[in-house]
Every structure is written in C-alpha cells, then in structure tokens.
Structure 1
Amino acid sequence: MVTVVDRTTVRHPEKAKRPDAPIMRKPEWIRVRAPGSPVYRETQDIVKKNGLVTVCEEAGCPNIGECWSKKHATFMIMGDTCTRACAFCNVRTGLPQALDADEPQKVADAVAKLGLEHVVVTSVDRDDLADGGARHMAETILAIRATAPGTTVEVLTPDFLRKPGALEIVVEARPDVFNHNLETVPSLYLTVRPGARYYHSIRLLDRVKLLDPTIFTKSGIMVGLGEVRNEVLQLMDDLRAADVDFLTIGQYLQPTRKHYPVKEYVTPETFKAYKTIAAAKGFLMVSASPLTRSSHHAGEDFAQLKAARAARQQSAQPERA
C-alpha cells in the first residue's frame, strides 16, 4: 500500500518563509462546479480501496469533478512526496518513503476495475533514487499491459535529470504517449521551476523520438506566470524542433498564498490565438484553453492524435499515376 505522509506536514517548508502572495480573483471563465456525482464517488472509492494516489487530488486539479464523473483518473505513483519544490506545485515536498513494490499491480487492478480505455500515469520527482524511479514506472506500464491489455498508456514523467539510462528504461516499456511538461518559458525557470533545466527537458523529448519514433510525444505549459507572447512562440518552436506531437496550454492557478502568484488571467481569445499559431507551426494536436491540463480529455485526445498522424502520413504519400 502506498504510504501517505501525515497531512499536517508542511507541503513546502522552504516556502513558508516567503511572504504570502495575494490570490487574484478568478474570472468567470475559469470557475467550475464542485464535484459530487455518484460516478465521481465511485471513482474515489476505487482509488482509496486500492491505496492509490492521484495527481487529480494532490495537485488540486479544477477538472477533477468532470474527469472522475467519467471514471477518468491520473494515477501518481511513487508516493505523494516530491524531492523538488517547484513554486507553482501543490504536491508536498520532503523525503519520500521507499517505493511500494506492489504499486504497479495495484494501479493495473484499478485501471481494470474502472474499465479505462486510456490511462495516464505520472509521478513525483524521485531524485533520491538512482534511476529517478524509471524502473518503477516501466513496471507500472507493463503491469497495465498484462492486466488491461485493451488500455492505452500515457506517461507524464519527471525530467530524470542526472539519471543516465533512465529515459531508455521508460521508452523500452513502450508507452503509447510520452508526456513531459516544460511548464513555463526558460526565463522563469529560476523562480518557477528551479530544480529543472529547460534545455534538458527539450533534449529529453527529442531523445524519445530518436529512441522510438512510433511513440507520441507531448508537452504542456502554464500561462499567466509573467511570460510574454514571443517567449511562448519561441517555446513552440523549440518543441517542434524536438518533433513533439502534442502541445497543451492552460491557465496557471495559484494553489495557496505560499505559492507563486498569478500574474495574469489570460483571456480565452488569447488561448485561441495560441492554438491557431501552434497548429500552424506543425503540431499534430494543440489543446489551449483556461482549463486545459495535461491529462484532461487524454483518452479522446489520443484517438485524435492517431487520426491526425494517419491523415498526415496519407497526405505525405505520393499520388499514384
């Protein structure tokens, strides 16, 4: 069973010294209804009975009501405690517990019980492990394949910084989609994502395609952190240079006053413009809206990804005389 650390633990002790950042009032276009449907509660029950952690809960995702009411959940493996302290993230920071060797099968069993056609598996950063948890993630993919062979698998991975060979272990397990989020533009990494390196993340995504061109690659960013338009457009170019297939862009929402503040609520019109520009740059798919999140509508998106790739391959074939 996944060990859950006492909830009284301070999530970001190193942030406790920072002055509270005021939380801007949310505009109407990003307000959502509170969850509570019968199917939502059924999904919640399955997650709890299997002793699992979901990023839906840990990250305070605004789409949890919608997704869990459709029996969609993003499983977060390797515990609920991260070794990093990104300024935007609501997942607790500290020294993680040892890995649960039974967790891959527990996730696979939950996937089968939920009857998922597509599942997303993510994890906390585990810089304390020699392989960053890559072997554990690969075992989870393989367990899902064995227990629910009809389910397609998407992974949302850490960056495996300074973990040689880790990426290869995950790619060898052949997930259908490999997602690694850039989160923000490079100029904001020092304050927003200080434990990561922007160009390392770009190279990680590029290497996935070099290792296995059949795997779809995906990345996402948040806006409203203080980035400017040209930085977002350059980031799109960097991802296309790495042959990334799918880009997601969503509004950053400040989890608590201890976290990085929202600098701007980006309008729906700006999101539409970003989507148009990104599509013109050659992404197979783009999802851009205030409530877009990496795993939101992942199953439907995967079906569209396959169709978009097939259409592009078809159009690239020379016409027969």
Structure 2
Amino acid sequence: MRNRLPEWLRGHSPLRAATNPVREVLGDLHLNTVCLSAQCPNRGQCYGEGTATFLILGNVCTRRCRFCAVAKGEVRAVDPGEPARIVTAGRRLGLRHMVITSVTRDDLSDGGAGWFAAVVRLIRQELPGVTVEVLTPDFQGMPEAIGTVAAAAPDIFNHNLETVARLYPAVRPQADYRRSLELLRQVKRIDPQILTKSGLMVGLGESGAEVERAMDDLREAGCDFLTIGQYLQPTREHLPVAEYVRPEVFEAWAETAYGKGFRYVAAGPLVRSSFHAGAFRQLAR
C-alpha cells in the first residue's frame, strides 16, 4: 500500500475542459507526450496552459528503470512522419518553446540521436523564433550520438542525472552516473553556447550531503540549469518513496544550487524536468 500523500503534494488539476485543446491536437496528430506516458502529476496544469513535452521514438522503452512509469517491452519501428507532425502541433498550439524528449532506444545503432537532430532541424526550419530544448537518454555514452544531437544546436540540452551516485544500481541499473555527467561535459566541449540542464529526484533515500555532491558534480561538468523534484511512486511495482521532502528543504536546496553557480534553478515537490520550461527559455534566447 502506497503512503498517503502529504498536504503539500495534493495539487488540483484544471478542469478537463481547459485541457481539451491540447488533448485534441495530440490526438489528431497521433503524438506521444512524456506528460501522459510517465504519469506526470503536472500534466493537467501544463495541458491547461497549452503546453506539452513531446515524446519521440515511440512510447515503449528498452530499459527498466525502477522509478519510471513509461512502458517497457517490445519497441516499434520509428515513425517517419513524426517530426512533421510535431512541427504541426507546435504551430497549432502557438508554442514559443518546444521540449523534445524520448524513450531510451538501445536497439537503435545511434540510440535515436539522428531522430532528435531531425526534429530539432525541422523546428528550426519551419518555426523560426521558437526555442528548442531536448531531454535525451544517455545514448550509452556514444560520443558520435551525443555529437549528432549537439550539432543540431538545440538551445537547451537536458539530460537528467535523476539520483545520487550511490543509488544508481537500485534506481537506474542500466545507466551510469559518470556516463551521464560525461554526456553533459561533452556537449559543452562541442558547443559552449548550448545551455545544459539536468534534474534530480529526491525522496529515494539520498542524504542532503549526497544531493549537494551531485550539484557539485553537475557544475564541474558545466551544467547551467538544475531542476529538483519529489519522486512519486507510479505503481506498487516501482520503488517505494523513502521520504516526502518538505517544501522548505527544496527552497534551501535552490539557494544552495544558486550559490554553487547554477544560472537557473527550479526546486519544489512537483517540479519536473520540463515543468514551466518556458522560464528557462528566457535565458536560452
């Protein structure tokens, strides 16, 4: 039985009617979003504000991270019409900042890097003035794949560290803490003008000192932006919540992160990687 949520996590989503325009566009264009696939607690609010985070390369992941609600199993072939439909969605929704993420596709030779690059370039071509943020998997650390996405010059290159080093075997058994840091480091080596971003989940059993150490490691890798949010257990099969972190602790972590040199920090119980990503957009222009 999952723990009862504390008061500060019992949010209220907008009425479904307010989210219908976004749902209709996504449905008409047969597009996936991480908002829905990952059971994001903010999807009602984001849809109500006319935004969404596009999930490319299907909605089935090849990895089995123990915190993530995205489906695992047999993946499908890449849909050749997907980039054009994403551009159409951006135009119909009037988006000024578009966030593109994906499932992890270890079955593809480049991990899907070429697909990210194709989507970014098409947005640049068809929607001038729109800023683009990518939230990528680790591409198994392949330098060529990371370089492919960086060469498309997204305004923000996001790759989530997710948790502290000690918890990787339990939380992200097919990932590697140092490999994720090296990805962010490599992006900066390729193009120092690309703003890099990463995110942490808390409430998995980490200590405050470990969170600060992760901040230090991210800054050493040149990371510009940071998000910190509360882990919420999607189903009974996923990792349990070890602690519900109080809002004032997030506020303190944000202050600490700014002190370490991050250019923008979003920290709070319901903060997610792409939540209110438009705020980061102001620094990306």
Taking structure 1 as the reference length, the TM-score comes to: 0.87
Q: Take 1:86 and 1:152, find their aligned partners in 2: how far apart are those partners?
A: 30
Amino acid at match of 1:169: T
Separation in 2, partners of 1:162, 1:267: 35
RMSD between superposed Cα atoms in Å:
1.1
Q: Which residue of 1 aligns with 2:49?
A: 70
Mark the runs of 5 or more structure 1 residues left unpaired by the alignment: 1-21, 308-321
- Secondary structure (helix, strand or coil) at the match of 1:97 reads coil
CA distance in 1 between partners of 2:66 and 2:210 (Å) = 20
Aligned-partner SS, 2:137: coil
Q: How does 1:66-215 map to 2 (within 5 A)?
A: 66-215=45-194
Q: Is the 8 A contact 2:156 2:284 kept in 1?
A: no
**Residues 41-56 of structure 1 aligned to structure 2 (within 5 Å):** 41-56=20-35
Number of equivalences:
285
Asked if the contact 1:178–1:218 (Cα under 8 Å) also holds between the matched residues in 2, the reply is: yes
Contact kept in structure 1, 2:154 and 2:194, CA below 8 Å: yes
Q: Residue 31 of structure 1 aligns with which residue?
A: 10
Q: Partners of 2:120 and 2:74 in 1: how far apart?
A: 25
Q: Hey, which bits of structure 1, 4+ residues long, moved more than 2 A? A: 34-39
- Give per-residue Cα distances to partners, 1:166-215, cap 9 Å, x unaligned: 00110011100000000000111001000100000000001101100111
Greater Cα offset, 243-252 or 160-169: 160-169
One of 42, 49, 58 as aligned partner of 2:37? 58
The answer on 1:289 being equivalent to 2:285 is no
SS of the equivalent of 2:99 reads strand
Query: Which runs of 5 or more structure 2 residues have no equivalent in the other structure?
Result: none
Residue 311 of structure 1 is matched in structure 2 by none
Deviation at 1:162, TM superposition (A): 4.8
Greater Rg, structure 1 or structure 2?
A: 1
Is 2:248 aligned against 1:263?
no
Contact 1:182–1:198 under 8 Å retained in 2: yes
